[in-house]
Amino acid sequence: MTLRLWPRSLVGQLVLAVAVALFVAQAINYTLLARGQRQQAYANGGGMAVARIIDALDRDRRGAVVDPDDDEPGKRRPRLQVRDTPFDPPPRAKADADLATHVAAQLEQAGLDAEQVQAWVLPQRHKMERMRGPARTAIVSARIGARYVVVRSWLPAEGKKLQGFLIWQTLLLYVLILAPILLIAWRAAQPLRTLTQAVRRDPMGDGPPLLEEGPSDVRDVISAFNASRARIGTMLADKDRMLGAVGHDLRTPLASLRVRVEAVDDENLRDKMIATIDEMTAMLTDILAVARSGAGKEAVEDYDAAALLAQLGEDYRAMGKPVAGPDAPPPLPPLSGRPLLVRRALRNLIDNALAYAGEATLIAERRGGELWLIVRDAGPGIDPARIADLVEPFARGEASRNRATGGAGLGLAIANALAEGEGGRLVIENRSDAPGLDAAIVLPI
C-alpha cells in the first residue's frame, strides 16, 4: 500500500499548499531572525570585548593588570589579562570563529593593530543573568604588539525564547489563515460534491435542476450542467417517441405477416416462417431494449439490493432453473436508484450464465464504497482479450447466429447500459480460483 502525501480533494490540496507555504515562510523568517539575533549578540559581546581590551591595554601601561602567572591553581582568573604567552582556554570552551572575526574588525576600526584574534564561549551562565537575562561567558584573546590581551565578556544565550515565539506565531497564523481558507474551500467543494453525485447517479434524468450555489465559477458549472441535462432529457424524450413509433410500425406488419403465415398449408414451411418471424420480433425487442436502456420512467427509490438478488434466485428456481444463492449475504446498506432496471440487467447476466454454463450462482458483496452483485458460473470462461468486445451490441461469445445457442449478442450490452444508467458499471472477469466467469453489476453506495 503506497502512502499518498498529496490529497485528492480540492479542500485538502488547498489547505496543504497553504500550510506548506506558511511553514516555509516561517522557516525563512526564523533563519533571518536567528541570524539577526546572532549578529546583535556579536555586536554586544564583541563591542564589550573591544572596550575591555582597550581598558586592559591602558591598565597595562599603568601597571594595574593582574599578572596571570601569579594565579593559584583553582583560583578564578581575572576578566582582564595582559600576558607574554598565548592564552590556553579552559577545556569546556568552544572556539567561535564568527565572534573572533567580529572583534578583529572592531579592533581594526579602533586603530589597534591586532593579530591572532581568537574567541571562545563557555557553556556556563554569566553572573549578570538576573539583570540581562540568560547569557554565556565569552573569552577573547588578541595579540597586540608583543603582548597577548585576554578579556572576558558575555553573549546572550541561544534563543529558546525566539523559538517559542515563532512556534506560537506559526500556530496563530495557521488559525487565522487556514480557518477562512477551509471555510471558502468547503463552500466551493460542497456544491461540486453535489454535482459529482448528480452526474454519477442521474446525468440524463428528469430530476429537478441542481441548486446553483457557491462561488461564481462553481455556480456557472452547475448552471451549465443543468442546461446540458435538460437538453439531453429533451433529446432522449424525442428518441423514445421515435423508438415507440418504430416498434409499433414494425410489430404491426410482423403480427399481420404471422397471421397470414398461419394459412400456409405446408406445415414444415409454415413452422420455418413462423420461427423466422419470432426471431425477428425477439431481435426487434432486444434492439429497442438497448436503445431505451437507462432511459425508463421508473421513479428513483431506496431498495435492498440483496433482497432483490434473492428474489431473482427464487424466481428462477421456481421455473426449475439451476440458480443458487445468495446464501445469507452480509448486511448491506440500501441503494438509491431504479430497482427494475437493475433487475433487468441481472436477468440478462443470469440468462447468459444459463445459456453458456447451464447454471448460475448469485453473490452480493460490499467492496469499499461499492456494492457488487455477482452472477457466477462454472462454464468455460472468456478469452480476456475478448471481454471488452463482448459488451458491444451484437457481439457474441458463440460464433453462430442461432438465437438458441447464444441469442443476438445484446444481453451484455443491455446490462452494461443499464448499469451505467444507474451510475455503476459492468465488470466481467474470469475466476482465478476455479473455471468459470464472474459477471457483476457494480453500484456505488
Report the CATH number at residue 388. 3.30.565.10
Q: Are residues 309 and 372 in the same domain?
A: yes
* Residues 6 or more apart in contact with residue 387 via CB below 8 angstroms: 428, 429
Q: Are residues 277 and 328 in the same domain?
A: no
Q: Quick one: what percent of the chain has pLDDT higher than 70?
A: 78
Q: Are residues 288 and 308 in the same domain?
A: no
The pLDDT confidence band at residue 65, using thresholds 50, 70 and 90, is low
Average pLDDT score over residue span 223-228? 87
Q: Are residues 240 and 371 in the same domain?
A: no
Q: Are residues 266 and 310 in the same domain?
A: no
Per-residue pLDDT, 160: 60
- The grid coordinates of residue 2 equal 503506497
**Considering only 4-8, 233-237, 356-360, 427-431, which range has the smallest mean pLDDT?**
4-8
Per-residue pLDDT, 75: 47
Q: Give the residue numbers spanning the domain of 109.
A: 10-68+76-161
Q: Are residues 288 and 338 in the same domain?
A: no
Q: Running DSSP on this structure, what letter comes out for residue 94? A: E
Within a domain: 195: no
Which of 140, 161, 182 is the C-terminal boundary of a domain? 161
Within a domain: 39: yes
Q: Running DSSP on this structure, what letter comes out for residue 424? A: -
Per-residue pLDDT, 70: 45
Q: Report the amino acid identity of residue 368.
A: G
Average pLDDT score over residue span 27-48? 76
Which of 161, 180, 210 is the C-terminal boundary of a domain? 161
Q: Are residues 276 and 367 in the same domain?
A: no
Q: Are residues 147 and 229 in the same domain?
A: no
Average pLDDT score over residue span 275-283? 77
Rounded CA separation 231/225 (Å): 10
Which of 362, 272, 275, 285 lies closest to 316, judged by CA? 362
Q: Are residues 285 and 319 in the same domain?
A: no
Residue 68 pLDDT greater than 50, yes or no:
yes
Per-residue pLDDT, 131: 43
> What CATH number is associated with residue 287?
1.10.287
Residue with cell 466551493: 188
Within a domain: 193: no
How many structural domains are present in the chain?
Answer: 3
**Considering only 53-62, 94-103, 158-167, 212-221, which range has the smallest mean pLDDT?**
158-167
Q: Are residues 86 and 227 in the same domain?
A: no
Q: Are residues 132 and 48 in the same domain?
A: yes
Which residues in 33-71 are b (16+ Cβ under 10 Å) and which e? eeeeebeebbebbbebbbebbbbbbeebeeeebeebeee
Name the strand (E) or helix (H) holding 249.
Answer: helix 216-261
Q: Are residues 331 and 385 in the same domain?
A: yes
Which of 292, 325, 345 is the C-terminal boundary of a domain? 292
**Considering only 12-26, 131-145, 305-319, which range has the smallest mean pLDDT?**
131-145
Mean pLDDT estimate for the chain: 76
Q: Phi/psi at 85 (nearest 5 deg)? A: -115, 155
Rounded CA separation 97/416 (Å): 77
Average pLDDT score over residue span 169-184? 82
Within a domain: 371: yes
Within a domain: 223: yes
Q: Quick one: what percent of the chain has pLDDT higher than 90?
A: 0
